[in-house]
Amino acid sequence: MEIRKPNYLEYKKVLSLSPKALFDGTLGEAKPTDEKVKQLIERLLQKGSYYLIATEGDNLMGWILIGTSKDQFTEKIYGFIYELFVLEEFRGNGISKQIMKTGIEHLKQDGYSEVRLSVYAGNQALKLYEKLGFKNRIITMSMQI
């Protein structure tokens, strides 16, 4: 398996699959249009975020979208993982873990001393994040009224 930045055609493939990634990552809560996802991602890419993809031969297996963010209270800048996704047929083989480790290493090389991410409660990736050393920092709660 190779983990690297995508070429243009690979980027287009990732972009076309991103609505599914967002839908899965939010446990079906977000159902964005292709256009909305494209707008969100292009805004991140313009601010310096980038993809790393996992491939084997010509097969795209998954990706991570990493970049920077700023704490709204302290204004501290930190690395941020915006998206992690592995295609269903490749799940259960440790690919997410490899992609995460590579993404974190890239953020470290980019000069960040802290990495954050957001995850929905109940998302199975939560276990992976905890195993990698991520800890709860902020908990957002909701209530239907």
Tell me the DSSP string of 62-111: EEEEEEEEE-TTT--EEEEEEEEEE-GGGTTSSHHHHHHHHHHHHHHHTT
Angle at 26 between CA 90 and CA 1, to 5 degrees: 20
- Domain count of the chain? 1
**In-domain check, residue 138:** no
**In-domain check, residue 141:** no
The domain of 44 spans: 2-131
pTM, rounded to two decimals: 0.90
**In-domain check, residue 30:** yes
**In-domain check, residue 7:** yes
Query: pLDDT tens digits for the chain (145 residues)?
Result: 999 999 999 999 999 898 888 777 777 677 777 788 888 889 999 999 999 999 999 999 999 999 999 998 999 999 999 999 999 999 999 999 999 999 999 999 999 999 999 998 888 888 999 999 999 988 888 888 9
pLDDT for res 77: 96
pLDDT for res 120: 85
Pairing of strands 2-4, 50-56: antiparallel
**In-domain check, residue 125:** yes
pLDDT for res 111: 96
**In-domain check, residue 139:** no
What CATH number should be reported for the domain holding residue 6? 3.40.630.30
**In-domain check, residue 70:** yes
pLDDT for res 20: 80
**In-domain check, residue 142:** no
